[in-house]
A and B are shown apart, each in its own frame.
Chain A
Amino acid sequence: MRARIALVAALALALLAPKAGAAEQASLTEIEKQVMCPVCGTLLQLAESPQAQRERVFINRLIDEGKSEAEIKDALEAEYGDEVLALPPDSGFSLSAYVVPILALLIAAAALAIGVLRWRRAGGGSDGDDGSMRPPAPSERDSERLDADLARYDL
């Protein structure tokens, strides 16, 4: 019985161990790519202003304190507001940053599909009754000329 308990405990530890290790330590280089320098209006990664330097000092201090990437981003948001995040949060009014482009794309696709359907129904681009693409029939005069031309050749 004890052996079984020890085995289960060992398995549980083995399963939990990688998870604990997966909590990667935050790095300034990674966070710099995800947050803005609010005064400069650029990614922190590209900013060299005095404010950007203070922001880096702040991030490094939180890294030294063992804070995770998410915790550091939360702390930056508490200091500077949500404009410090390079990607807007997916909640509240900021959600429109994600929803509006998708909606615009869907509306444009629907409008295009409706337009093509109407054009097809109106017989656009075809002369045949069955909707197939055919060249226009020659006029009576053209037919007579064609017959006359063909008659001059002994085929």
Chain B
Amino acid sequence: MLAVVGLLVFGLAIKGSSGLAVGDPVPTAAMPVLEGDGSQSLAGYRGRWVLVNFWASWCPPCRAEASALEDFQRQYGGPRFAVLGIDTRDLSEDGRDFVEEFDLSYPQLRDGDGDVSHDFGTTGLPESFLVDPAGKLRLHAPGAVDEDYLNEAVAPLLPKEES
């Protein structure tokens, strides 16, 4: 009986994990690269600011924000900052088609079973998380982002380029 109760508590603990709060360290589980072989984790981005964007090809708001994210990456991307896409609960081929369709140049990882998305505590798609160089959450944007949001909320937090 104790074993059964223990199993139930364990299940609830797993399912009941809450979302991240600003200042929390973000999950660093390794994920397969969407285009190509191998895997990467957010731990590999320590020392850089990263805008983690969860998306899926079947999600219309994700399509709406894709161009704004790409423009932002082109403007701010470099050794100190990168946009990182995470294609979640999506077919890999559909994800690759999406990347090609929007000509996305920033790195893309794959979270097919949605475990990483769950660890971040996402409640829908798309969702974006700005992670600082220490691997801690600095900003959470549920829903689609646009050019105004990126320029007004994200850009001021990023380090200024040295001239």
Contact = CB atoms under 8 A, between A and B. Distances in A.
Contacts of A78: 112
Given A51-B56, A54-B57, A54-B91, A80 B1 contact: no
A39 B89 contact: yes
A149 interface: no
B4 A79 contact: no
Nearest to B57: A54
A54 B94 contact: yes
A100 B7 CA distance: 9
Contacts of B115: 81
Given A38-B113, A80-B113, A81-B115, A54 B89 contact: no
B94 A80 contact: no
Interface string B42-66: 0000000000000011111000000
A96 interface: yes
A79 B7 contact: no
Interface string A38-52: 110000000001110
Interface in A43-66: 49-51, 53-55, 58
Contacts of B91: 54-55, 58, 79
Contact of B4 (A39, A51, A80, A104): A104
B1 A81 contact: no
Contacts of B121: none
A107 interface: yes
Interface in A18-43: 38-39
Contacts of A51: 56, 58, 89-90
Contacts of B40: none
A122 to B, nearest CB: 23
B77 interface: no
B73 interface: no
B154 to A, nearest CB: 27
A53 B56 CA distance: 13
Contacts of A50: 58-60
B58 A54 contact: yes
A81 B60 CA distance: 23
A81 B112 contact: yes
B143 interface: no
Contacts of A81: 112-115
A38 B94 contact: no
Query: A49, A50, A96: which has the most chain B beta carbons within 10 Å?
Result: A50
B89 A80 contact: yes
A83 interface: yes
Interface of B: 1, 3-4, 7, 56-60, 89-92, 94, 112-115
6 contacts: A50-B60, A51-B89, A54-B57, A80-B89, A83-B113, A100-B7
Given A79-B91, A83-B113, A100-B7, 10 more contacts: A39-B114, A50-B60, A51-B58, A54-B57, A54-B91, A79-B112, A81-B114, A82-B113, A83-B114, A100-B3
